[in-house]
Every structure is written in structure tokens, then in C-alpha cells.
A and B are shown apart, each in its own frame.
Chain A
Amino acid sequence: MRDQSILLTGATGAVGGDLLRKLAVRKGLRINALVRRSDRDPHERVKAILGELDVTAKLNVLEGDIGVGSSLGLDDATLASVRRETTHIIHAAGSTSFTLPLAAARAANVAGSRNVLDFARGCASLECGAFLSTVYVSGKRRGVFAESEYGDEGHGFVNSYEQSKAEMEEIVRAAMGELPLILVRLSTVVGDSTTGRVSGFNTIHHAIRLLYNGLAPMIPGDPAEPVDIVSSDFVAAATLHLVENAPRPGVFHLAAGRESSSSLEELIGETVSSLSRFRPAWRKRAVERPLIVDLDTYELFVRSVEETGNEVLKGATRAIRTFAYQLAHPKVFATNQAATVLAESGIAPQRSSDFYPRVVKYCLESNWGTRPC
């Protein structure tokens, strides 16, 4: 991407922040980082993400909003100049909340992406527009989900997030004939494979915390089915490689696949053994492993907790529920297309059991992001 200009949306997000850090150390690259307009100083926010990094790219922080139309909230002059120079777009902005009402999820992920597409239509030099999506656009499907497939195939979605991302893909897919676009579907990003550092705490980390606190009695799912998680360094490196090298249009899964994934039972075991290893005092609490149960049993438990009105247990079961229903619809994400493009780069997903314990350790040491470490 040397001598090229990239527009990065969602630069303050978990994935966008990781991408920004990688891009910022490239020489000659021009980065327009779109930061959502708020009462916080966008430059300070970006500075906080870059930390001590030796920035060699030409970084331009833009305040904007993907929700306000194809201008992305930029003034006319800025809009015109960014459109003129942009050769690549990585659209990493959106809502990743699993609990938004569908209309709000659509506003963030569908309407926002439509605006970015409209913006892209005005970029004469555009070489690649990468839209970040999720492998869970597959919804409640089971079995193998190929990169060539789209959506839930009528099986429904677990939450509004999945549905809005699937709808987002439809509009991107429709624009693939006219624009050089790729969809990069990410699996669940848990943390850095070397340091365990977590850029964005999500439901997996929340579930680890509930287990740590002895508040996760059961999880729906199949003990033998894989739980697909990926490292943030793999996602950042692979996304940038795809943006530069992938054939377009195209759809790519950045997922661990069956070979690199632990089964649900193994993952729970790895969680328990990591908590015991990195916080030996925790063993004294004798927390039992959560049971892996069928969906009906889990639903009965959730319903019972709801009936009790117990706020702590309600919060715990709801938190698990938002993603755990995915575990009850096990699937494997095929990665053939991504693997083909990534083959010569040496970028590949690490075995989750190799790095996941470091993520658990980071969760403990940072007290789930509330303590510097």
C-alpha cells in the first residue's frame, strides 16, 4: 500500500485499532482515519490507540459519522480530497452489540455501510473496498459454511447483530458488479496470540469472567463441536494482506476452521486450567466446570432465572445467552479462499489452544480491562 491512500472507518474500535497500529508503521502510506464525531478529541483518541508507536505513515485523523450520508459527515472540501486520493477502504465501523433492537443494528450496520458504498462510488482511484463482516451472518445454520455462501438460508439469526450484518452483506454483494469489493468475514477475535492483549472485550471474555466468578453453571452446545476463535494479530495481518492481494470481488473467512479450533468441552477445560494456573488462589473457590447442555435445558434454566427476578443471575444468563445460542448451532467455517490468498504470505490462524490461555491470563491481569497491565 506504499504511496497509496487508505480510508479506515472504525479506527477507534477493537479491530480498527489493531489495523491502524499495523498501517501506521508503513512508510509512504497515507491513512485517513475516520473517527466518530463526539465530545471527545478524535486526535487524542487515536493517540491513545497508537501509544508509543513510531508512526511512519502519513496519518490524517478525520472526524465524521458513517450514519449521516455518503459524505460520512465530512465537509465538502475534505470529502472531495479524500474521495480523490482514496485507493483503498477498510470499513471497520459499525455496531457489534448483540442486544440492540433490530432497527438500531440496521441503522449502524446496513445504513452506515450503504453510505460507505456511496462514498466508494465517488472514489475514482479505488482499488479495493474491504467490508468487515462476521462468519455469523450464517445465523442458525449448522454444518459447513462456505465463503461462497450468504446468510442464514432461512434458519434465522441468533441476534440482531448477525441479521444486520447479513443484510449489510446483501448490499455489498449487490455493489460487487460495479466496485472492487471484498467481504472479510471475521470469526470471534479474542486477543493477541503472543501477549494475550485484548483490544476489545466481548462476550467470550465476559463468559470467562462469569466462569471465574462462579456464575456460569451451564452453557448450551455440543461438547465435541468446535468453537471458532481467532487472534487479533492474525486478523489484522490477514485483513491487510487480503486488501492488497485478494481477487475482487471476493468473500473471505478469517476463521480458525476445524483444525485450529478447540471443541467446546476443550475450551471450557482450557479456561478452567488457565484460571487455576494464572490465579492459583482461584482453585480454593472450587468452581465447578459449567455443564454443556442442550438448548431446551438451557432455555428452561434461563426462564427459571428470569422468573426469580434475581438481577445478578439474570445478568449472567443473559450475557451468556446473547452468544451462547450460537454454540447450540455448531458450524465449521470453510477458509479455502482466504487460505489460498494468504498461502504465500505465511499468515495463518494459530491453534486456539496455543494462544487462548494467554488471553485468559490477560483478562485476569487487567481485571477484564479495568486495570493497566
Chain B
Amino acid sequence: MRAQSTAGIHSIAEYLPPRVASVRELHDRGLLRGSPETLTSFGFDTVHLAGEETNIDMAIAAAERVLEESDVDRNDIGMILYAAALSSSSTLWDGNGGSPHGSVLQLDSVPDLFKYPASVLQTELGLPNAPVVGINQLGCASIFAALRMARALIVAEGELRAVLCVSSDKFPAGRHRDLAYNLVSDGACATIVRRGDRINRIVECTQITKGALWDSEAIENEIIAAYFPTATALIERTLAKAGLEMDDISLVIPHNVSLRSWEILGRLIKCPPERIYTENIARVGHTIASDNLLNLRRATEAGMIEKGDYLLLFTFGYGSNWACMIVQH
């Protein structure tokens, strides 16, 4: 029998640190660069802050949960794609300068340069049959690249039944949590992309990289200015590739950047606000790479998505990368 060459996002789980802080508290603790009023006006309210947990702890927690909740046999997980948005997430750094696993960002320590979180994840999860690949350097778009590659691998390799995609990022302790007028949360998400899955079938994946905009610090204004036209162009291109129009999309599953930016982008892509799932911007904030999957899970749980619905996922990651995906629920 010919292997099915479609893949779907079978199940999703997240890990958010229990500690929650409000915009006001972050401001009072000196963890904001900009004005709390602007962040509030842009739709932010609270974020999750990791305490003791490292990014690998959060990754394991999210991955364990998705494995527990799904009916996928652990032996069927044929690959782990570990997506790291922050460069530090590709190490075993604990966010405070140390590491319980022995690898921090010490570029001059040769042994440390070969200690990878993806391997720790594999052994901790007990998935000896799943080779690992790390995906990084795309900022918040890294999980989109993982999903895209998972689907491509499933299509290309007949024996691969399921791929575990994980992303986890923890901000360095004590640093400003607002980036380009967005408020950053710590968190992780994990998903299983499974061959032949009809739920959340991945229809189209696209990405634009503008390498010229790599220096997020020096040319922040140019990046902000490029955001809307590039996002609009990519979303239109993705819809066209899928043979769909905006009206065919039942729900846009966003990344949790400012509500204001989604108000603007919604107008540009001609999507009314009620078809953009923005509930978690205020209460979760921008979990770097985990937003879209977290939102997809919560929108599903809230009964907002019906079988057959087309969903459009969009994110932006420094680098600069714009990524879009259409799935059919």
C-alpha cells in the first residue's frame, strides 16, 4: 500500500511557568524598557516567568505532556525536531548564567560546544528510536520551520510515521521583557506531526527570510517598517499557493505580538478581527516561538474550530523571518 503523503498536527501541548507577572509589576521591577501604558494599550496584560526551570526543563515538560495526551505510540516517533528561537536555547544554559546539565554559553570551552539540549530531550523522554535535529536561527519562526520540515520528511521518507517538534525559550533573568513593543513570556510547546493525519492537515508552508535585516538591534526601525508589507505579501502568497482566499480561512491563529499590530495586519489582509484568535495576547504574552501552537490548542479546546476549517498561522522571527502556514482542521 502506498504510504499516505499528507501530514497533520496531531496533538499539541504547552508548558507555561506557573509564575505570572503583570505589566505593572514588570515595570516596577525594572523589567521594561518602554512605557507600561503603551504595552497595555497594545493589548498586553500578564506574562509567564520561568523561575528555576530551564528551557530544557520546559521542553521536557511540554513534550512529556503531548506524548501522554496523544494516542501516538512512542515507538512511532521517528524524529525529534528541537526548535530554538533564542541562541541560548540551543545550549543547556539555565537562564541565570549556569546550567544543571553542564553547558553554558562558553564559546571558549570546547567540550561545552558539543553539549546539545536536543540529545538531553531525547534521552529524558525515552525515545531512543528518534534521531534529533536542532532547528535554530529563525527567531520566533523556528517552530514553523520545524513543522515544515516534519511534513517534508514524512512526505519524503516512507517509513517515518511521526515527528515530535518541540520549542522552548527562556529569557535571561533580569532583562527587559519588551522587544519591539511586544511583551515576552517564557514557555514551551510540543507537537506531534503524524503521517496521514487528517486533523490539522498541513496544507501549505511558506517563509520569507530577509537576511539584510539580521541585526535586530541596529536596524530595529527598518525591521518594524518591513513587518507589515512583508507579512501581507507572504500571507497573500500563501493563500494563492493553497488556492484559497482570505474568506476561506475560518480562523487566523496568530503569534502573540501586540493586539494593535494584529488590528493593522487584519485590515491589510482583509480579515475581520473576529476571525483572528487574539485571546492569549493579554494573558500569555509572546512566548517567542510557542504562540501559534499554544493558540491552536486553546482555540480547539474552546470549540472555535470545526472539522474541515482552514486555519492560517502566521509568525515573524528575528533574522528576519516571516513564516506562514495553512492547515485544515
Contacts and interface: CB of A to CB of B under 8 A. Distances in A.
B181 A297 contact: no
A216 B38 contact: no
A297 B268 contact: yes
A316 B225 CA distance: 10
Interface string A133-160: 0000000000000000000000000000
Interface string A300-321: 1100100111101100100000
B230 to A, nearest CB: 5
Interface in A200-258: 213-218
Contacts of A296: 267
Contact of A304 (B212, B213, B232, B260): B260
Nearest to B229: A288
Contacts of B41: 307
- Of A284, A285, A287, A288, most buried by chain B (CB within 10 Å of CB) is A288
B38 A291 contact: no
B264 A310 contact: no
A309 B230 CA distance: 23
Interface size class, chain B: 20 to 34
Contacts of A284: 212
Chain B interface, DSSP helix/strand/loop, else mixed? helix
A307 B40 CA distance: 11
Contacts of B233: 288
B210 interface: yes
A57 interface: no
Interface centre among B35, B221, B230 (most CB of A within 10 A): B221
Nearest to A301: B264
Nearest to A300: B264
Contacts of A214: 222, 225-226
B222 A288 contact: no
A215 B42 CA distance: 21
Interface in B229-269: 229-230, 232-233, 260-261, 263-264, 267-268
A291 B221 contact: no
A102 interface: no
A290 interface: yes
B222 A291 contact: no
B228 A291 contact: yes
B227 interface: yes
Contacts of B225: 214-217, 313, 316
A130 B213 CA distance: 51
A216 B263 CA distance: 19
A286 interface: yes
A351 interface: no
Nearest to A317: B225
A267 interface: no
Interface of B: 34-35, 38, 41-42, 181, 210-213, 221-222, 224-230, 232-233, 260-261, 263-264, 267-268
23 contacts: A214-B222, A215-B221, A215-B222, A215-B225, A217-B225, A217-B226, A217-B228, A217-B229, A218-B228, A218-B229, A218-B268, A286-B211, A288-B233, A291-B228, A293-B268, A294-B267, A297-B264, A301-B228, A304-B42, A304-B264, A309-B34, A313-B225, A316-B221
Interface of A: 213-218, 284-291, 293-294, 296-297, 300-301, 304, 307-310, 312-313, 316
